[in-house]
A and B are shown apart, each in its own frame.
Chain A
């Protein structure tokens, strides 16, 4: 079945780069998304990549997609304390049944 996996925690120093990883199992994905959730708030769409792309850059954010390994990553350059949040990857699947599968989230903690 479909599954999206992420590591639970990541801790980085302010100013360093953060890399959050995600693996998925279904190869019929169309879009892959990264969402950010701050405490007490809903999920906010950060960025996304179409499945026929390898990389997308958006200011401090770089998304890398390795379709062969079914691996998605989000790199945050110059990480700031305001980046502390939970990050969710999600895979949109088209097929007999269309689905959006979320990972369990990675909590990013940025320390000074």
Chain B
């Protein structure tokens, strides 16, 4: 099983503040992803990474940036949080070396922007 740790598990912040969410994996998986989950929308891809310093945008990338300086860590940053970014954020990895194949998810971060 892939080991994924997301931190923090819960975060409450104010509009306009920067927020960084961290995803850490214990295996050497190439692909890492950030999704957000909202009622009525299922899961939507924010950004993904295919290697160190290699990232690409997903479906809902506006207002978010990512960084991957080490294989095991993938950071999601909200430069200036807005209330529309209140959501549950999930990090995932592909258990194979193929994009979008057999994703394994972390436990999520509940973010509230007041």
Residues of A within 8 A of B (CB): 4, 31, 33, 35, 40-45, 48, 88, 92, 98-100, 102-105
Separation of A35 and B106 alpha carbons in the complex (Å): 13
Query: Closest 7 CB pairs between A and B?
Result: A42-B105, A100-B100, A102-B42, A102-B43, A104-B42, A43-B105, A92-B100
Chain B residues 14-28 with CB under 8 Å of chain A are: none
Q: Please judge, given known A-B contacts A103-B42, A104-B40, whether A48 and B102 are in contact too, CB under 8 Å.
A: yes
Could you show 30 A-B contacts with beta carbons less than 8 Å apart? A4-B42, A33-B102, A35-B105, A40-B108, A41-B108, A42-B4, A42-B90, A42-B92, A42-B106, A43-B43, A43-B90, A43-B92, A43-B105, A44-B105, A45-B102, A45-B103, A45-B104, A48-B102, A88-B42, A88-B43, A92-B101, A98-B99, A98-B100, A99-B100, A102-B42, A102-B43, A103-B42, A104-B40, A104-B41, A105-B42
Q: Are B108 and A100 in contact (CB under 8 A)?
A: no
Separation of A97 and B107 alpha carbons in the complex (Å): 28
Residues of B within 8 A of A (CB): 4, 40-45, 90, 92, 99-108
Q: How many A-B residue pairs have CB under 8 A?
A: 46
Residues of B within 8 A of A92 (CB): 100-101
Separation of A43 and B6 alpha carbons in the complex (Å): 14
Separation of A40 and B90 alpha carbons in the complex (Å): 11
Residues of A within 8 A of B108 (CB): 40-42
Residues of A within 8 A of B40 (CB): 104
Q: Are A41 and B107 in contact (CB under 8 A)?
A: yes
Separation of A103 and B99 alpha carbons in the complex (Å): 19
Separation of A92 and B38 alpha carbons in the complex (Å): 20
Interface centre among B45, B92, B100, B102 (most CB of A within 10 A): B100
Separation of A29 and B112 alpha carbons in the complex (Å): 35
- Measured CB to CB, the closest approach of chain A to B91, in angstroms, equals 8
Separation of A56 and B105 alpha carbons in the complex (Å): 23
Separation of A66 and B15 alpha carbons in the complex (Å): 47
Residues of B within 8 A of A41 (CB): 107-108
Residues of A within 8 A of B106 (CB): 42
